[in-house]
Chain A
Amino acid sequence: QQQVKQSPQSLIVQKGGIPIINCAYENTAFDYFPWYQQFPGKGPALLIAIRPDVSEKKEGRFTISFNKSAKQFSLHIMDSQPGDSATYFCAASRMKGGSEKLVFGKGTKLTVNP
C-alpha cells in the first residue's frame, strides 16, 4: 500500500522554468508534509515543509501548495537553475503519537537544462 503517491517520475525543464511536482496522500492523520532534495550519492536533505493549517509556504525559490480537502500538496521551484537538478521526494508523517516516521513518495528526478 503506497500511502504517498508522487508524480511525475521525471521532469525536464529549461533554466528559468517552473517545475511542479505533485503528491497525494491517503491517511488523513498525516499532519506534517516535508520535501527532501537528494543529489546522487548523497543523503536526502530537508528542503521545505508545511503543516495542514496553511495553504502555502514559500522559502526562497521553493513554494509548497497544500490542498487539505483534496489531500494533495505540490512543490514549485521558481526560476529553476541547473544546480536544482536532483531527485525530489515528498513525504508525510503523523506528528502526534506514534513514532512519527516519515512515509516517502517514490521521487521525481528533475533535470534543469542550461
Chain B
Amino acid sequence: NAGVMQNPRHLVRRRGQEARLRCSPMKGHSHVYWYRQLPEEGLKFMVYLQKENIIDESGMPKERFSAEFPKEGPSILRIQQVVRGDSAAYFCASSPRVPGAGELFFGEGSRLTVL
C-alpha cells in the first residue's frame, strides 16, 4: 500500500504527557500537511511542510505544538504537555508538488485521547 501512512492510529495520554504523531507521505511526495478534526467538526489546517522546511504554520497553536519533516524519515507532529482539549483526530495529507492540482491525499488519521 503506497498510501499516506500514519501511526499510531490510536494514542492515549494523560494530561501533561507528550504525544508524537508520525506521518510517512506517499512515495514521491515531498509536501506534507497536518490537519486536526474535532468531533462533529470539519478539518482545520495546522501546518504545511516540505522536506526540512516549515512553509506555513499559521494554524498551529502558539505553544506546545511543533512539527518537523526531516530530510530522512517521517513527518512528526509533537504535542507537549497535552491537555484534554487536544483530544482529536489528527490527519496528515501529502501532495506530490506545490499543489497546482490541489489534490491532497489523506492518511487514516491518528486519534489522540487525553485522559
Contacts and interface: CB of A to CB of B under 8 A. Distances in A.
Interface residues of A, number: 25
B45 A98 contact: no
Interface of B is mostly: loop
B56 A99 contact: yes
Given A49-B102, A99-B56, A89 B48 contact: no
A100 B107 CA distance: 19
Nearest to A6: B42
A99 B109 CA distance: 21
Contact of B41 (A41, A45, A100, A106): A106
B109 A32 contact: no
Contacts of B44: 104
A101 B33 contact: yes
B38 to A, nearest CB: 10
Contacts of A42: 108-109
Nearest to B42: A104
A93 interface: yes
Contacts of A98: 56
Contacts of A34: 102-103
Nearest to B91: A43
Contact of B56 (A4, A44, A101): A101
Given A100-B99, A107-B40, 8 more contacts: A34-B103, A43-B108, A46-B103, A89-B42, A95-B100, A101-B33, A101-B56, A104-B42
